[in-house]
Chain A
């Protein structure tokens, strides 16, 4: 009995610390900029202005209070994007009618992916805004936000079969306070399953 208690004590303290630190769940924080005493300062999403598949402006304000999944793709992508889209659609089907939820897909090929091209793609995939936003904009602004905030890998690439771009296929999970809580491989079904269960925690 005594032994059991001794063994349980550290366990309790870990659970206790974890729950105070992570507010009841164990998802990590991935965009901490620095810690100042008791305060954690997060790397904040910069201001931006993009246009969605309906021609509407999407900016920082549109993300307010949303738990969202960000990704980078392009419509004519030959390799991983079709797989990512299929996996993300499962996420959309699960949470699409929760108004706190959003998917934000940025094209990395804004020269080809105009508003009309994105609209056609969304319609054909069978999804719609506001739950799934496909956005285009100034190329520099899209790439910058990808590197600076979402920690994404995006490069132009003209090797065979790449379709002109190299990118990581990462799905980035952001909570309602703009904190990155997970990065998942959008081509891997198990990781997308993990994303779905992490989303259920954040959307509770």
Chain B
């Protein structure tokens, strides 16, 4: 309990000293976490490391980090074809998340990029909308 309060106080002190861009990024990370916990964590796990040979990792995934925006089409359309992540082959289907809106996707992507050992990038709603326009059948 005290820990939680302290985390909030620290977060507040830190945020108070931040500029707008940082604040927006922090906000996206927190809200993106909610989307991840609800929609993705049952397969990819809280630690982002995936589960057995069934579900691939997103933490330190070469597939994801090559260009996180490229994963948007996959998230929205789902995946059927086998893929290789960090040298291992995966082939279970991933369901489509066509109901996620661009702002939720921007938050989700920002959360994924800023979690575990990933690279810390920020994605705006505009970035997402632009990429979504390039996905086939969407």
Q: How far is the CA of A79 from the CA of B95 in the complex (A)?
A: 10
Grouping DSSP codes into helix (H, G, I), strand (E, B) and loop, the B interface class, with mixed when no group exceeds half, is loop
A121 & B54 in contact (Cβ 8 Å cutoff): yes
Does B8 sit at the interface, judged by CB under 8 A?
no
B53 in contact with A126 (CB, 8 Å): yes
Q: Which residues of A contact B (CB under 8 A)?
A: 75-76, 78-80, 82-83, 85-86, 120-121, 123-126, 160-161, 163
Q: A112 — nearest CB in chain B belongs to which residue?
A: B93
Q: How far is the CA of A75 from the CA of B100 in the complex (A)?
A: 23
Cβ of A160 and Cβ of B99 under 8 Å apart?
yes
CA distance A82 to B55 in the complex (A): 9
**CA separation between A91 and B42, bound complex, in Å?**
18
Chain B contacts to A: CB under 8 angstroms: 42-43, 51-55, 91-93, 95, 99
Name the B residues within 8 Å of A163 (CB-CB): 95
The answer to whether A80 and B54 have CB atoms under 8 Å apart is: no
Q: Which of B43, B53, B93, B99 contacts A124 (CB 8 A)?
A: B53
Q: How far is the CA of A85 from the CA of B42 in the complex (A)?
A: 10
Known contacts being A82-B54, A82-B55, is A124 close to B92, with CB within 8 Å? yes
Give the distance in Å from the alpha carbon of A73 to the alpha carbon of B124 in the complex: 38
Task: Report chain B residues within 8 Å CB of A120.
Answer: 91-92
Residues of chain B within 8 A of A126, CB atoms compared: 52-53
B54 near A83 (CB under 8 angstroms)?
no
- Most chain B CB within 10 A, of A80, A83, A86, A123, is at A86
Contact (A125, B42) CB under 8 Å given A76-B95, A78-B95, A120-B91: no
Please measure, in the bound complex, the distance between the C-alpha atom of A120 and the C-alpha atom of B99, giving whole angstroms: 29
